[in-house]
Amino acid sequence: MKLLLDTHILLWGLLDPSKLSRRVAIELESAENELWLSPISAWEVLVLVDKGRIALDAEPQAWLRRVAKALALKEAPLTHEVALRSRLVDVPHQDPADRFLAATAVVYGLTLVTADVRLIESRGFSVLAN
């Protein structure tokens, strides 16, 4: 399975694994699955650090690079097609980060791993609920 990690799933998996459901933890650890990350999530991590909402053990950019390499994260590029699709996805709110993540899942055929009920209840893209 190709799994697109919502920002909080990435952070929980690394900083507080107890927040992950058993199924999500198993899927994230499975060598059979590919783990994907959107540049939107990298940006959200930087914003969370700037706002003091999370603390990392290294400078944020270096931390993100180290994590991407250690987890063999595949980058889901932010393309024109993703931007165009972001306005068409069935997401019940206008949060741009969520809309970009949902559109990324559609464009690349990925399963979005999330605990966000609004995304879980959306249609038109695959979701693995935490």
Closest CA to 27 of 108, 97, 111, 95: 111
Is the Cα torsion angle 36, 79, 43, 125 positive or negative in sign?
A: negative
Closest CA to 106 of 121, 87, 93, 92: 87
Q: Can you tell me whether residue 36 is helix, strand or coil?
A: strand
pTM (2 decimals)? 0.95
CATH architecture of the domain covering 2-129: 3-Layer(aba) Sandwich (3.40)
- Looking at the chain, the number of H-run helices and the number of E-run strands are 7, 5
How confident is the model at residue 111, as a pLDDT?
Answer: 98
Q: For the chain, how many residues are written?
A: 130
How confident is the model at residue 50, as a pLDDT?
Answer: 96
Please identify every stretch of the chain with a pLDDT value under 50, giving residue numbers as ranges.
Answer: none
How confident is the model at residue 31, as a pLDDT?
Answer: 95
How confident is the model at residue 94, as a pLDDT?
Answer: 82
How confident is the model at residue 11, as a pLDDT?
Answer: 97
How confident is the model at residue 81, as a pLDDT?
Answer: 98
How confident is the model at residue 41, as a pLDDT?
Answer: 97
Q: Are 31 and 88 in contact (CB under 8 A)?
A: no
Token pair for 30:
């499975």
